[in-house]
Structure 1
């Protein structure tokens, strides 16, 4: 009866997933083949099942809720609204910052990401000789996510 185990709160899990936006763009996956196929492969990344504890706040709410009750080997597609993912897009998190505060000598290129002196990775929306307009929102804020997940195993299931 090994496959009759279902995910309960507090179980440790290994899942494979592929995350997409509503338009079908893949933004992340644990599967090397899928990364290569969709053009997001990163040779620095280790492609292997993702380990976390169910319903412990280690992942976005939509995944925590979505895995409860799943059986080992089961596959499912989760549609996760922004409120259960990375939150709504907040306009106040777009800020004009003096280049001197960013410790930059040259204006950063629009569309690129930079690391602020405080250690935050932010997207550059625009820049001039003196200011950069930066977006401090999480990259997936305001987006509905489509996650194809497979429960590989319940590590400590009862």
Structure 2
């Protein structure tokens, strides 16, 4: 049975950047080899189950799953437009240094640190001086072409 919109699909996957760097996987052995398991020691690496068309994964992944069947493997190459988009200056926010220090209880983040917004998004501090702090809230994978090796485990 080929995957169609609305199907519940369980899959194993490994996501890579153009240079071959593994950024995510459902497989414990791949995570250990890529150093991901060390960075997220509490994460369980198990197959992912999604409803195709439910917006649970990026658009390019949903489109790439359509037509596949249980037991099949495929490599999906997803351009930024169907993944996390291009980086945008609109996602870089500027804060008055003194106001941010007050909001953070007297502490001040340094370049490379992260701020968490009220909506849960994270922004990397890309500039910090006496007057202004800039945080980049673009998704970390914005602008990247992503490659996923997928194995369809089950289709319901």
Fold-level similarity (TM above 0.5): yes
* Aligned counterparts, 1:1-158, within 5 A: 5-41=1-37, 42-99=40-97, 100-101=99-100, 103-104=103-104, 105-117=106-118, 119-154=120-155, 156=156
Q: Give the deviation of 1:153 after TM superposition.
A: 0.7
Gaps of 5+ in 1: none
Gaps of 5+ in 2: none
Worse-matched range after superposition: 95-104 or 28-37 = 95-104
Q: Give the deviation of 1:107 after TM superposition.
A: 2.7
Secondary structure in 2 aligned to 1:7? coil
CA RMSD, Structure 1 to Structure 2 (Å): 1.6
For normalisation by structure 2, the TM-score amounts to 0.88
Greater helix share, 1 or 2? 2
Q: How many residues align?
A: 151
Residues 19-54 of structure 1 show CA distances to partners (whole Å, capped at 9, x for unaligned) of 111111111111111000011112211110111111
Q: 1:107–1:130: 8 Å Cα contact kept in structure 2?
A: no
